[in-house]
Amino acid sequence: MSHKPYITVEWNDTETDAKGWLCAYNFVNHYCGGGTRMHPTVTKEEVERLAMTMGYKYKACESKTTGGCKGGVAYDYKKPDAKDVLRRYLIAMAPYIKAGVSIGGDLGVDYSDVLDILEEIGIGLPATKEMKTDPVIIQGIKDHDALCGMKYDGFLMYDMITGYGCAAGLDEAWKAMGNKEPGKVVVQGFGCVGASMCNSLDKMGYKVVGIADANGLVECQDGLDVKKLIAGRKPKGELNPDDFEEKYIWRKNSEWLDVDCDIIVPAALEDVINKDNANDVKAKLIVEAANIPVTEEADKILKDKGVKIAVDFTTNLGGIRIYEVSVFGIVPCDPALIVKDTEDLVRKNTKLVFEKAEKEGKTNREVARELFTPDVFDTPDF
């Protein structure tokens, strides 16, 4: 049986035209987790779909403690009052956060801003009553706070962990398809996930030949200088044209599927590969670094084209895994160990899905949904 979301709450801002939603798909041990996104296009339906994806993601994360939720605010995150809007949204959602709904950051929302606001309004890191009295978790919350300020490869831990996990998933998927040498990659989105993923892929020998941001698409078939582009990256994940070399080609960002490559990585918005453009996909592999970037209609088209997909909730789980292993004391609070834990888990899931799909003649998404269907539907903390 496919479950409907447990609860969805709607919010209307009193000072702007912003509107927001909080959806808890399922509680496990009276707790659920997921990010909050802010973008003008956010809808209630999108937040509910994302919350369901989080439920599957926590199952893929082997979590015994957490179900899936999601927050969303329909507002432009680039506006100067965006953080004020976020603050009013979190105040409105405070009763639910206190009841075990743990919301963090996502597209357009920095996790550090969420934590700062929750600290300001007296909530702190969201936790159930039982968690607040468990000595292991009390220490885990302290470890998590320390981890938030730690770096790995020059990135803050929360800024790199999802991207590095996605890069590991890409590498595992590419090898599962029988490829011996690293391929050519195009990444759509140059925020924390896209940028850190490019860095990890570059280290593994993959050639990043295209990067798209909100303003355009830069292409170079010889490979982009990823380290330089990351170093000069502007706030909110925008490329700096001052870092482009003469041989780079600047194109419309809508042309990201036209670039000659082996692998494409949607790492920003949902539904970017749909029935209108799925036939334009030239790559052999899609790695879903963003949540729900491929529509169901596109899935059918891609299946007929023989394009493989590394599925979102098995691939981009780094951001929730890092929280899980630090707060619940599963992995020591050491950046290298936590990165290895996420990469190993993503590789294991990816290998399992690809092998089972091949054996049973199913798509990767069909197999992933079978393997990682949420099976606990608990209640909030009360």
Residues of the chain with CATH 3.40.50.720: 156-371
Q: How does strand 19-24 pair with strand 32-38?
A: unpaired
Select the more confidently predicted residue: 382 or 251. Answer: 251
Q: Is residue 235's pLDDT more than 90?
A: no
Residues of the chain with CATH 3.40.50.10860: 7-132
When pLDDT is averaged across residues 5-20 and rounded to a whole number, the result is 97
**Three-state DSSP state, 75:** coil
Q: Do 5 and 67 meet the contact criterion of CB atoms below 8 Å apart?
A: no
Output the pTM of the full model. Answer: 0.91
Q: Which of the residues are catalytic?
A: 70
Q: Is residue 1's pLDDT more than 60?
A: no
Q: Supply the pLDDT for residue 107.
A: 84
pLDDT, tens digit, 9 for 90 and up, residues 153-203 = 999 999 999 999 999 999 999 999 999 999 999 999 999 999 999 999 999
CA 124 to the chain's CA centroid: 23
Alpha-carbon gap, residue 176 to 344, rounded angstroms = 15
Max Cα separation, the chain? 61
pLDDT, tens digit, 9 for 90 and up, residues 81-140 = 999 999 999 999 999 999 999 999 888 898 889 999 999 999 998 999 999 999 999 999
Report whether CATH 3.40.50.720 matches the domain 156-371: yes
Q: Is residue 237's pLDDT more than 90?
A: no
Q: Supply the pLDDT for residue 351.
A: 98
CA–CA distances in Å: residue 366 to residues 246, 254, 311, 360, 362: 44, 29, 10, 10, 6
CATH of domain 7-132: 3.40.50.10860
Q: Supply the pLDDT for residue 212.
A: 97
* pLDDT band at 270; cut points 50, 70, 90: confident
Q: Supply the pLDDT for residue 2.
A: 61
Q: Supply the pLDDT for residue 382.
A: 82
When pLDDT is averaged across residues 291-297 and rounded to a whole number, the result is 94
Find the length of the chain.
382
